[in-house]
Amino acid sequence: MLTLTSASSALTLFPECKTQRRRFAISAAADDKFPSFLPKQMEEIKDPFARKLATRIERLPVNVSFSEKSIMSSCVKPLIQSNQNPVVLLHSFDSSCLEWRYTFPLLEEAGLETWAIDILGWGFSNLERIKSCDVASKREHFYQLWKSYIKRPMTLVGPSLGAAVAVDFAVNHPEAVENLVLIDASAYVEGTGNLAKLPRAVAYAGVSILKSFPLRLYTTFLAFKGVSFDTGLDWVNIGKLHCLYPWWEDATVSFMISGGYNVSRQIDQVMQKTLIIWGEDDQIISNKLAVRLHCELPNSIIRQIPDCGHLPHVEKPDSAARLILEFMQNHSCQKKAQLAPTEEVVY
């Protein structure tokens, strides 16, 4: 499905970090030792890329106004610092940073300073004492993490609902976002809809269904084009690891009854240059909405990936990585051209 060497052509985009290939190869040869805070079921995952990325997950303390104590927040930090501004990867609804298991090493191998961040309420953060996981809480938490650790304008990448998170964040904190990459964006969903009106007891019942194996297996085969049954099973187990934490239900119900993300009115406020990536065979969000998004975003370009479903960075990581790298290279070249002094012509 994926070979790391497929990114070798992209190394010419960021030639200053060719040694990164060697560093990744060395780390990949080591025994997988997972952080103690990950669910023990991580040991049962077969996917070698998920296992390798999981060894790099760590928790960083993040201070927020809605918690007396720091939130120990999960992410994958970059191995290197680059002269380029960093790329920060968000994940889709009810997922984790392991969603980037195939594309993350390709971006890092090409020399990008790459972060993968777990959105508050999902992923592997410690949420034992957190009562609120609404949109405002997610935004504040991400901002404080950025302010404390990333500290530079970033290329922010959001797939599916993560695209809504990215749009909301870019509009509210434009100083933190240099440009955007939106992948099969869930930009026109009106929050959680009628789910926000459910009684709390009914909401908890619905959440228990959300983490059920049959539902997640169905959505996996709906999201991806042509995935084998064995692979699909492993991907389901990867996708539901974070649901095993005791606080997952509380966090998810908090998000559901808060109303969720509704960013359709924010789209025309996005001033950052934006790359829209879309799988042509997306069975979850129509690619007609990709065209609409392209028309409504003031400064955007669109690229579609053929023979690909809802999550290109999982299904077609080589293509997703190449498009992100080319977008960042073009942006970097434009910045350099703008900063270059103009020569005075003497007649």
Q: What residues are annotated to the active site?
A: 160, 282, 310
Q: Give the burial class of 347: count Cβ atoms within 10 A of its Cβ; 0-12 exposed, 13-18 middle, 19 or more buried.
A: exposed
CB 64 within 8 A of CB 71: yes
CB 164 within 8 A of CB 185: yes
CA angle 270-274-277, nearest 5°?
130
**Phi/psi-derived region of residue 40, left when phi > 0, alpha when psi is between -120 and 50, beta in every other case:** alpha
Q: Give the burial class of 253: count Cβ atoms within 10 A of its Cβ; 0-12 exposed, 13-18 middle, 19 or more buried.
A: buried
Which residue, 204, 213, 212, is CA-closest to 249? 204
Residue that is written with structure tokens 């972060």 in the block: 115
Residue that is written with structure tokens 């392991």 in the block: 98
Instruction: Please report, for residues 20, 21, 115, 179, 312, the alpha-carbon distance to residue 17 in angstroms, rounded to integers and kept in the order given.
Output: 6, 8, 16, 22, 25
Residues 324, 277: Cα–Cα separation, whole Å = 9
Question: How many beta carbons lie within 10 A of that of residue 324, not counting itself?
Answer: 27
Angle (deg, nearest 10), helices 200-210 and 248-258:
120
Residues 94, 13: Cα–Cα separation, whole Å = 33
Q: Are strands 114-117 and 87-89 parallel, antiparallel or unpaired?
A: parallel
Amino acid present at 143: Y
